[in-house]
Amino acid sequence: MTMLDQRHEEKLSAAAGVPDALAEWVAAIAAHTRPDRVVWWTGTPAEVSTLQDELVAEGKLIRLNPELRPESFLARSTPDDVARVESRTFICSESPADAGPTNNWREPAGMRAELSARFAGCMRGRTLYVVPFSMGPVGGPLSRVGVQLTDSGYAVLSMEIMTRTGAAVIAEIAGGADWVRAIHSVGAPLLPGDEDVAWPCNPDKYIVQFPETREIWSFGSGYGGNALLAKKCFALRIASVQGRDEGWLAEHMLLMRLISPEGRAFHIAGAFPSACGKTNLAMLRPDLPGWRVETLGDDIAWLRPGADGRLWAINPEAGFFGVAPGTSAKTNRAAIEMLASHTIFTNVALTAEGDVWWEGLTDTPPAGLTDWRGNAWDADAGTPAAHPNARFTVAAERCPTAAEDIGEAVPVDAILFGGRRADTVPLVTEARGWEHGVYLGATIASETTAAAEGATGVVRRDPFAMLPFCGYHVADHWAHWLSIGRGLDAELAPRMYRVNWFRRDTERGFLWPGFTENARVLAWIAGRIAGEAEANETAIGAVPLASDIAAEGVSAERLSQLLTVDPVEWRYEVEREAEFFGGVGGRLPVELSAQLAEARIRIARAFG
């Protein structure tokens, strides 16, 4: 029996009794939104297949050529619904101070009234699906559960991949488990005589979190980050508040196991903004002889201090919702194998043979492509065939590098903080300790990508890669990290590192080859943890000896540039960090004020 079959067997054998509170909530939402029918989702293979067939018949999914891409589908969104809508994402805490300067705050009662008007009758002509889901294995000690109500079949199929769904979750709720209420509608009611469209949505969008009551309301968008409410909305925005209140962390982090030639396992978490290579790193297949990587998660990690003084983590998701463009056999061989079947693709190009394609998949695009908008693609027109934020949704157990214990808790040995920086930031820097590591995480800056609306390539501060995802005041988040560190055994706490695969030369070419060569940086980090690797101390932290990370094709001059701490750039960088800290008001932890002062002193001493 496969891991997927085991999941479905667990669902079928679980208790099916629906507790009164859940049934009453569903009935109240249905009475307000007025769907034609209500379906309680169980996630059996037959149910999945039936919904797939329905969506294909309705033109909402395109079934790919089963000989080339078995059990796989393509969805095409509207051009105005292709990414997370940060400008329409709200944290409705009781106090605006709790939302902080990095969130859009709205007064809860006023927002509820606004949402009530939007949701009134919004599901007419559609089906309301009730999707009970678990983040983490059902009943697991670090797991949490919720229920999403949605009128999007695409969202249901994606939630089935990304979470554990079905009757076993209802049994958890019936047994007294706290649960998050999540309501989603595409905001496109069908009145008698209306013709449906392939991607229903509404130009007026709301992605709303109520932290105190653990509620999520999403209106108008069908796109993943806005519609799959278990993901960013629950697993980060709501869970970060749960973690603050309960003494753990919900973070935008990959989770991986690095195994040395001697068989020693190192567990690494890594915070990177969206579309900055988390999936590629999590599925790394090192070219270094004897080194292996096992994938534990590519996007979200929940971290809790253990009784043993270590920091433990799980990946609460059951699937991958990754960026397709740039994914290839060169950049991520494991992902290409993983996507060979049982995948939902969104906004990629369609080949004449009924397969998918995106920029970077092959050097030369195939002839006869249909672009992500459904039009014949003209290679000379200057527009991409696949949207830059085109996605794939696939079950984690289909990944050839997936760990057998994926979903279970592991002790964290190292935490990486990274982003896209063309200059200034060295390839890798080791923090001097936990407080300095929190400083590195709080001051992450990265060039924006197509994963969110707005201009790309703009450098912005993205602390802990949580700028769009932290459900409470960002400075309180840093204070929470500091508090977590004080509860760990100093000898067993994870070491922290800032990494940057994206530094460029004067011709704008990348100095570091990245991808599989990133294993050299990971091997150095493992050596530091094991007490076997040396480092050069600099004003901003320890960096490797060039000989420890030397890669084929990377000259000594380029290695020197990759590890250089430039005095002019770093004086400017620290002042930009100070400006950013100044924007959080009087809630900046004193430890980070001290780290900023120390950074200025160290740079002044080192460079005069």
Task: Say if residue 182 carries a ligand binding annotation.
Answer: no
> Is 420 annotated as contributing to ligand binding?
yes
Residue 65 assigned as binding residue:
no
- Cβ distance 278 to 290 under 8 Å? no
Known binder of ligand: residue 421? Answer: no
Of 122, 276, 399, 470, the active-site residue reads 276
Nearest to 128 by CA among 261, 248, 258, 31: 31
Q: Is 515 annotated as a binding residue?
A: yes
277 is in an annotated binding site: yes
Picking from 328, 336, 390, the residue whose alpha carbon sits closest to that of residue 363 is 328
247 is in an annotated binding site: no
Establish whether 390 is an annotated binding residue: yes
d(CA 348, CA 377): 12
Encode burial over 76-87: b for 16+ CB neighbours within 10 A, e otherwise: bbbeebbbbbbe
- Paired with 130 in beta bridges are 40, 149
CA distance 86 to 206: 10
Contact 159, 184 (CB under 8 A): no
Cα–Cα distance for residue pair 221/106, rounded to 1 Å: 19
The answer to whether 93 is a known ligand-binding residue is: no
Residue 223 labelled as part of a binding site? yes
516 is an annotated ligand-binding site residue: yes
Q: Cα–Cα distances in Å, from 563 out to 22, 320, 542, 602? A: 56, 33, 10, 17
In sign, the C-alpha dihedral spanning 578, 580, 584, 589 is: negative
Is 437 annotated as belonging to a binding site? no
CB contact at 8 A, 375 and 231: no
Active site residue 276: yes
391 appears as a binding residue in the annotation: yes
Q: Is 299 annotated in some ligand binding site?
A: yes
CB 301 within 8 A of CB 136: no
Ligand-binding annotation for 274, yes or no, is: yes
The helix/strand/coil state of 246 is helix
| 278 annotated to bind ligand | yes
Rounded Cα distance, 345 and 393, in Å: 6
- Does 389 count as an annotated binding residue? yes
Q: Report the binding-site residues.
A: 84, 223-225, 232, 252, 274-280, 299, 389-391, 420, 515-518
Q: Report the binding-site residues for Mn(2+).
A: 232, 252, 299
Active site residues: 276
Q: Report the binding-site residues for substrate.
A: 84, 223-225, 274, 389-391
Q: Report the binding-site residues for GTP.
A: 275-280, 391, 420, 515-518
